[in-house]
C-alpha cells in the first residue's frame, strides 16, 4: 500500500481503509514466492566468518521447504550446499545444529563426498549431549553405506540399550529404515532389541516392538511366536500395546475362525485389553474385535459395550472413533448396535459434523420402522449445516432404509424431494436423483410420487446430465401412469427454457407420450411442430423424425418405437442412392436395411519388409471406419487388435496441391500411422507414394515396415502406412518430422495420356506427435462411485498441481481432459456458471487393458489462478504413477 503524508494515527478513509481490511483478511504463506536461485545465493552466509545462527536457520528452512516441494538440486548445487553446511558444525548453537542434521540428511551429494562429514558425525555420536548423539545416529544411518556401517556397528549396538530414551529410539527407528538394504547388520542386534522391549520408557518399548515384528514379518510362524511371548511379557507402553493389538489381529485373521464353542486364539487377551487403563488401547482392541472375520454376536458384545461408553465421552476424538466403528459394525450386525441408538441420537446435535453424520447414518441402518419419522425430523434440521460429501452419505443411508421399510416410502420420498430443492453440487444432486430412481424401480407405489418430485426438480435444475436423465425416465414411465397428461407441461417447458441438449431430450420424451397415449396424440403433434423452428439442428431433426412417425400412425392408435435403430452406415448409403436417383419421391426410412452387412474375409499374411502396396480406397469418415480399413490389409494382420485410433489430423494447408491427413492406430507393441492422401493437381499422377518419418526425437520407436501407395490420381484418395514398433505395453512418446516422397508423372492435357518417364519429388509435411492420450481409451462408467470402490485402494495416488492463469474453470477442465484423453463421467465435464470449485470424474483404459479412474478437484481464486488436486485409482500403482507423470510433463 502506498505511503501517505497524513498523520499515522488518523483513521484511514475510502479505498485505503478497504485495502487495509483486505490485507488483514488475506493469509500469506511464509514461503510464498521462494525461488531456488535466490535461496542458493542466501546460503552463502554459511561461509561467513561470523555466523548468525538465526539467519542460517531461516535459510536452511527454505532449503528444506524446496526439497519437500519436489525441487531438485544439480550435483554442483548439492555439493556447494553440502560443503557450506559442514562449516556450521563449528557453531555451538543447539537449534542450528539440529537444522544442520536435517539438511545434511536431505542434501547429501555423491557417496565419495560423504566421508567429509562422517568424522564430525562420529564425534557427535560420542558426545555427552543426548540431542547431538541421537541426531548424529539418524544422519549416519541415512547417508552411509554398508562398509561404514560395519565400522560403527559396535556403537549402534550399544546405543540400542542406552539409558537415554532419545538415543535408543533414534537407533531403533534407524534400524527400521536399514532393514530394506542392510538387514544382516540389524539381525545381529536381536539380543539388544529384546532388552529394549523390557525398557521402562514408553517410546523405546514402542519402537523395539515394531522392530522385532519387522525382523519376523516374512515368517508367519515367527510372528505368531513373537505375539505369544509379547502377550505374556511386560509390554506396558500404550503405544506398544496398540501395536501388539494390531499384530494379534493379524495373527487371528490368518488363522481359521473358531468353530462351535471354541474361542479364537488370543481372543481372551483382546478382551482383557478392553479393561486397559489407556483409552487408545481400549479402542484399538474394540476395533480389532469388530473387524474380525465372521465375528459372532457373543464376541461383539464386550467391544460394543465399550464403544457405547465412548459415545458419551467429553473428548470428540473418542466419540468420532466409536461412532465410526459402530457404523461399520451396523452394516453386518445391525442388531448388535441397537442398544447404542439412544446414545447416538444425542450425537445428532454434536458440534462436530463428522460425528453427527456418522451417528445419523448408523441410526438409519439400525433404526426400526416406528422411528423413521422422528429420525427424518432430526435430520432435516441438520442437513443444511454439513458439506456435500456428508450429505451424500446420508442420502445413501436413507435410500437403504426405504428399501428396508417400503411402507415408509412416502415420508422418505418427501424428505428426498425437500433436500433436492436445496442448494448443492452435482454429486449431491445426482445421489438424490439416483436414490429416487431406485425407489421408483423397486417400489411400484412410489412411481407416481417420485415422478412428480422429479418434474418439480427439473423446473430449476442447472445440471444438463440430470435433466436429460429425468426426461428420458419421464418418456419411459410417464405414459404408463394413470394421468400422463400432467407431465406434458413440465416436459414442454424444457423445450422453451433450456439449452439445446435438454431441448432435444424433451422432444424425444414428448414423442413417446404421443406414440403411447391415444388421447394426447393430437396435442403432442402441435407441440412438436413448434419445435421445428428451433435454432438447434439436433432439436429440429428429432422433431421432424418424430412428426413423420407419429403422423404416419392411424390416428395415433398404434404405438411406434421412437428409438433409433438404423445403423448410420446403412442410412448414409440409402441417402446416397436417393440423391443419385433424384428427389421425385420422399425418402422412405423403411427402405433402409436394419442389419449391418458383414465384410468379406480377407487372406492374411505375416508382415515383412517387402510389402505390397494397398489399393486406393475412399477416405474413411470416422475412427471406427479407420480401424475397419486396417483389417482389410493382410500385411498388418500380425499386429493384433487395434487398441485405439486417434482423430484425423491435417498435415497440409487447405489449399495446397496435396492434401494429407494422418490417423494414429495404437496396438499392443506397435503404432501404425495411416496417411490419407489426396492429389488435387489435375495434370499429375503420383506413384509409389510413401511418408518418410524421422525418428531422431523418438528413440523408443523403431521403423518396422512401410506400405506405399501405388498410384495417386487426381481427385482419388489412397492410403500409405508406416509401422513403428515399440516395447510392448509401454507408453512411448515422440515427435516425428514427416516428408511425403513420390514419383511425379505429367498428364498431357490434349490427349489425357500419362508420360512414361517421371521424376522423384518430395513434399514437407507438418510434424506428428505421439502423446500419452494416444495410449488411453475413453470409456463410459455407469456408476463411478461403485467402480472406484472396487479398485484397489493401495493403487491410489494423489497430488496437487497449479494450472496457472485460466479464463475459467471450464477452460481448465477441458485442458486436463484433453491431456489425459479420458471420458468424463456423469456429466462432470460441464462446470456450472460462476463456479469457484468443481469436481470432474474421468474414466479410461490404458493400453494393456488396465482400467484407470481419475477424480479431479479444481479451484479458482479471484486472480483466475487455478489449482487442481488429482486422485488416481487403477489396477496397479505403477499405472497411477504414470497418469500423474503425464500431468507433470504436460
pLDDT tens, residue by residue, 33-58: 788 888 888 888 888 888 888 999 99
Strand partners, 706: 722
Top-confidence residue, 590 or 663: 663
Residue whose grid cell is 403432442: 524
Which is nearest to 641 in space by CA: 609, 662, 666?
Answer: 666
* Residue 672 DSSP SS3: strand
Q: Give the range among 443-447, 614-618, 621-625 with minimum mean pLDDT.
A: 614-618
* Residue 649 DSSP SS3: strand
Question: Is the pLDDT assigned to residue 220 strictly greater than 60?
Answer: yes
Q: Which residues contact 627 (CB under 8 A, 6 or more apart)?
A: 642, 645, 665
Per-residue confidence at 603, pLDDT binned at 50, 70, 90?
very low
Which is nearest to 454 in space by CA: 476, 487, 483, 427?
Answer: 487
Q: What is the pLDDT of residue 28?
A: 59
Half-sphere CA count of 23, side-chain side, radius 13 A: 7
Per-residue confidence at 6, pLDDT binned at 50, 70, 90?
very low
Q: Give the range among 174-178, 605-609, 784-788 with minimum mean pLDDT.
A: 605-609
Q: Classify residue 77 as exposed, middle or buried by CB count within 10 Å of its CB (0-12, 13-18, 19+).
A: middle
The pLDDT tens digits for 370-420 are 667 777 776 766 676 677 777 777 777 777 777 777 777 787 778 887 877
Q: What is the pLDDT of residue 29?
A: 67
Across residues 442-450, what is the average pLDDT?
Answer: 84
174, 137 Cβ separation under 8 angstroms: yes
194: its cell numbers: 529384546
Q: Classify residue 571 as exposed, middle or buried by CB count within 10 Å of its CB (0-12, 13-18, 19+).
A: middle
Q: Give the range among 87-96, 252-261, 834-843 with minimum mean pLDDT.
A: 252-261
Question: Is the pLDDT assigned to residue 11 strictly greater than 70?
Answer: no
Top-confidence residue, 182 or 559: 182
> Where do the domains of the chain lie, and which CATH numbers do they carry?
218-295 (no CATH), 336-506 (1.25.10.10), 623-770 (2.60.40.1480), 774-889 (3.30.310.10)
Question: Is the pLDDT assigned to residue 485 strictly greater than 50?
Answer: yes
C-beta atoms surrounding 180 within 10 Å: 8
What average pLDDT is seen over the chain? 80
Q: What is the pLDDT of residue 595?
A: 61
Per-residue confidence at 724, pLDDT binned at 50, 70, 90?
very high
The pLDDT tens digits for 129-161 are 888 888 888 888 887 777 777 778 888 888 888
Q: What is the pLDDT of residue 27?
A: 56
510, 488 Cβ separation under 8 angstroms: yes
The pLDDT tens digits for 299-337 are 888 999 999 899 988 999 999 999 889 888 887 888 888
Give me the numbers of helices (H) and strands (E) for the chain, helices first please: 36, 17
Q: What is the pLDDT of residue 601?
A: 36
Q: What is the pLDDT of residue 369?
A: 66
**CA-to-CA distance for 505 and 531, rounded, in angstroms?**
12
Q: Give the range among 188-192, 260-264, 661-665 with minimum mean pLDDT.
A: 260-264
Across residues 20-37, what is the average pLDDT?
Answer: 64
Q: How many angstroms from the chain centroid is the CA of residue 142? A: 34
Q: What is the pLDDT of residue 256?
A: 58
**CA-to-CA distance for 401 and 438, rounded, in angstroms?**
12
Per-residue confidence at 659, pLDDT binned at 50, 70, 90?
confident
Q: Give the range among 30-44, 172-186, 432-446, 574-588 with minimum mean pLDDT.
A: 574-588
Which is nearest to 255 in space by CA: 229, 223, 297?
Answer: 223
Q: What is the pLDDT of residue 1?
A: 38
Per-residue confidence at 847, pLDDT binned at 50, 70, 90?
confident
Strand partners, 769: 735
Which is nearest to 692 in space by CA: 721, 726, 658, 654?
Answer: 721
Top-confidence residue, 163 or 386: 163
550, 515 Cβ separation under 8 angstroms: yes
Across residues 664-668, what is the average pLDDT?
Answer: 88
Q: Classify residue 108 as exposed, middle or buried by CB count within 10 Å of its CB (0-12, 13-18, 19+).
A: middle
Work out the angle at residue 703's Cα, subtended by the Cα atoms of residues 698 and 708, and round it to the nearest 5 degrees. 125
Q: What is the pLDDT of residue 384?
A: 67
Q: What percent of the chain has a predicted confidence (pLDDT) above 90? A: 8
Q: What percent of the chain has a predicted confidence (pLDDT) above 70? A: 88
**CA-to-CA distance for 722 and 706, rounded, in angstroms?**
5
Q: What is the pLDDT of residue 351?
A: 83
Q: Which residues contact 459 (CB under 8 A, 6 or more apart)?
A: 490, 493
Q: What is the pLDDT of residue 596?
A: 52
Question: Is the pLDDT assigned to residue 613 strictly greater than 50?
Answer: no
Q: What is the pLDDT of residue 263?
A: 64
Q: If you write DSSP's letter for every residue of 477-538 in order, what string do you get?
A: HGGGSS-GGGGHHHHHHHHHHS-HHHHHHHHHHHHHHHHH-GGGHHHHHHHHHHHTT-SSHH
Q: What is the pLDDT of residue 723?
A: 92
**CA-to-CA distance for 233 and 152, rounded, in angstroms?**
31
Amino acid at each position: 500500500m502506498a505511503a501517505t503524508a497524513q498523520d499515522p494515527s488518523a483513521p484511514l478513509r475510502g479505498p485505503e481503509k478497504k485495502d487495509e481490511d483486505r490485507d488483514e483478511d488475506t493469509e500469506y504463506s511464509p514461503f510464498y514466492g521462494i525461488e531456488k536461485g535466490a535461496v542458493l545465493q542466501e546460503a552463502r552466509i554459511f561461509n561467513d566468518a561470523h555466523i548468525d545462527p538465526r539467519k542460517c536457520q531461516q535459510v536452511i528452512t527454505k532449503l528444506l521447504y524446496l526439497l519437500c516441494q519436489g525441487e531438485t538440486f544439480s550435483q554442483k548445487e548439492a555439493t556447494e550446499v553440502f560443503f557450506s553446511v559442514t562449516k556450521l558444525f563449528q557453531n555451538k548453537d543447539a537449534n542450528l545444529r539440529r537444522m544442520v542434521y536435517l539438511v545434511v540428511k536431505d542434501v547429501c551429494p555423491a557417496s565419495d563426498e560423504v566421508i567429509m562429514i562422517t568424522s564430525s558425525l562420529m564425534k557427535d555420536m560420542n558426545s555427552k549431549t543426548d540431542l547431538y548423539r541421537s541426531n548424529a545416529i539418524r544422519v549416519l544411518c541415512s547417508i552411509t553405506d554398508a562398509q561404514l556401517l560395519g565400522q560403527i556397528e559396535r556403537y549402534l549396538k550399544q546405543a540400542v540399550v542406552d539409558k537415554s530414551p532419545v538415543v535408543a529410539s533414534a537407533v531403533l527407528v534407524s534400524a527400521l529404515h536399514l532393514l530394506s538394504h542392510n538387514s544382516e547388520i540389524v539381525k545381529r542386534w536381536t539380543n539388544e532389541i529384546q532388552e529394549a522391549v523390557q525398557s521402562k520408557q514408553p517410546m523405546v518399548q514402542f519402537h523395539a516392538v515394531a522392530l522385532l515384528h519387522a525382523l519376523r514379518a516374512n515368517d508367519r510362524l515367527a510372528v505368531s511366536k513373537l505375539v505369544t511371548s509379547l502377550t505374556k511379557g511386560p509390554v506396558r507402553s500404550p503405544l506398544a500395546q496398540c501395536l501388539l493389538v494390531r499384530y494379534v489381529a493379524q495373527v487371528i485373521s490368518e488363522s481359521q475362525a473358531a468353530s462351535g464353542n471354541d474361542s479364537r486364539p488370543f481372543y481372551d487377551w483382546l478382551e482383557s485389553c478392553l479393561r486397559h487403563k489407556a483409552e487408545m488401547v481400549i479402542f484399538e482392541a474394540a476395533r480389532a474385535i469388530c473387524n474380525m472375520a465372521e465375528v459372532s454376536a457373543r464376541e461383539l458384545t464386550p467391544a460394543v459395550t465399550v464403544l457405547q461408553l465412548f459415545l458419551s465421552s467429553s473428548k470428540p476424538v473418542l466419540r468420532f472413533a466409536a461412532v465410526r466403528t459402530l457404523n461399520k459394525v451396523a452394516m453386518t450386525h445391525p442388531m448388535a448396535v441397537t442398544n447404542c441408538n439412544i446414545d447416538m441420537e444425542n450425537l445428532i446435535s454434536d458440534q462436530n459434523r463428522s460425528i453427527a453424520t456418522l451417528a445419523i447414518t448408523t441410526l438409519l441402518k439400525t433404526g426400526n420402522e416406528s422411528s423413521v419419522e422422528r429420525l427424518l425430523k432430526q435430520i432435516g434440521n441438520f442437513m443444511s449445516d454439513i458439506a456435500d460429501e456428508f450429505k451424500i452419505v446420508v442420502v445413501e443411508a436413507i435410500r437403504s432404509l426405504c428399501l428396508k421399510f417400503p411402507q415408509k416410502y412416502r415420508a422418505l420420498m418427501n424428505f428426498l424431494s425437500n433436500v433436492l430443492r436445496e442448494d448443492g453440487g452435482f454429486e449431491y444432486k445426482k445421489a438424490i436423483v439416483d436414490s429416487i430412481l431406485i425407489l421408483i424401480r423397486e417400489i411400484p407405489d412410489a412411481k407416481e410420487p417420485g415422478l412428480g418430485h422429479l418434474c418439480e426438480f427439473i423446473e430449476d435444475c442447472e445440471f444438463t446430465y440430470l435433466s436429460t436423465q429425468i426426461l428420458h425416465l419421464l418418456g419411459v414411465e410417464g405414459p404408463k401412469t394413470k394421468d400422463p397428461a400432467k407431465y406434458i407441461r413440465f416436459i414442454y417447458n424444457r423445450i422453451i427454457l433450456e439449452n439445446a441438449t435438454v431441448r432435444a431430450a424433451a422432444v424425444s420424451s414428448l414423442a413417446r407420450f404421443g406414440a403411447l397415449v391415444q388421447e394426447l396424440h393430437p396435442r403432442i403433434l402441435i407441440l412438436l411442430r413448434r419445435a421445428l423452428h428451433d435454432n438447434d439442428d439436433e432439436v429440429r431433426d428429432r422433431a421432424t423424425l418424430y412428426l413423420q412417425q407419429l403422423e404416419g400412425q392411424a390416428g395415433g392408435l398404434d404405438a411406434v418405437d421412437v428409438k433409433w435403430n438404423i445403423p448410420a452406415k446403412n442410412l448414409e448409403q440409402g441417402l446416397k442412392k436417393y440423391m443419385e436417383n433424384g428427389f421425385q419421391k420422399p425418402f422412405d426410412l423403411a427402405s433402409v436395411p436394419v442389419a449391418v452387412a458383414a465384410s468379406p474375409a480377407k487372406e492374411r499374411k505375416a508382415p515383412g519388409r517387402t510389402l505390397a502396396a494397398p489399393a486406393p480406397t475412399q477416405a474413411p469418415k470416422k475412427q471406427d471406419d479407420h480401424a475397419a480399413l486396417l483389417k482389410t490389409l493382410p500385411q498388418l494382420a500380425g499386429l493384433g487388435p487395434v487398441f485405439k485410433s486417434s482423430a484425423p489430423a491435417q498435415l497440409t494447408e487447405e489449399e495446397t496441391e496435396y492434401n494429407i491427413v494422418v490417423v494414429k492406430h495404437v496396438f499392443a507393441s506397435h503404432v501404425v500411422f495411416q496417411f490419407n492422401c489426396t492429389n488435387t493437381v489435375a495434370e499429375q499422377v503420383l506413384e509409389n507414394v510413401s511418408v518418410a518419418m524421422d525418428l531422431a526425437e523418438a528413440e523408443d520407436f523403431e521403423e518396422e515396415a512401410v506400405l506405399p501407395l501405388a498410384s495417386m490420381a487426381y481427385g482419388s484418395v489412397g492410403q500409405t502406412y508406416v509401422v513403428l514398433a515399440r516395447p510392448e505395453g509401454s507408453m512411448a512418446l515422440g515427435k516425428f518430422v514427416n516428408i511425403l516422397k513420390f514419383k511425379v508423372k505429367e498428364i498431357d492435357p490434349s490427349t489425357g495420356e500419362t508420360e512414361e518417364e517421371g521424376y522423384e519429388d518430395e513434399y514437407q509435411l507438418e510434424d506428428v506427435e505421439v502423446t500419452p492420450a494416444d495410449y488411453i481409451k475413453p470409456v463410459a462408467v455407469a456408476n463411478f462411485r461403485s467402480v472406484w470402490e472396487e479398485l484397489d485402494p493401495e493403487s491410489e495416488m494423489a497430488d496437487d498441481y497449479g494450472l496457472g492463469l485460466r479464463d475459467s474453470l471450464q477452460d481448465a477442465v477441458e485442458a486436463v481432459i484433453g491431456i489425459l484423453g479420458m471420458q468424463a463421467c456423469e456429466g462432470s465435464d460441464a462446470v456450472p456458471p460462476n463456479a469457484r470449485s468443481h469436481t470432474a470424474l474421468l474414466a479410461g483404459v490404458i493400453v494393456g487393458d488396465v482400467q484407470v479412474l481419475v477424480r479431479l478437484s479444481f479451484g479458482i481464486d479471484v486472480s483466475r489462478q487455478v489449482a487442481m488436486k488429482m486422485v488416481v485409482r487403477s489396477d496397479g500403482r505403477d499405472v497411477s504413477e504414470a497418469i500423474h507423470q503425464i500431468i507433470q510433463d504436460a
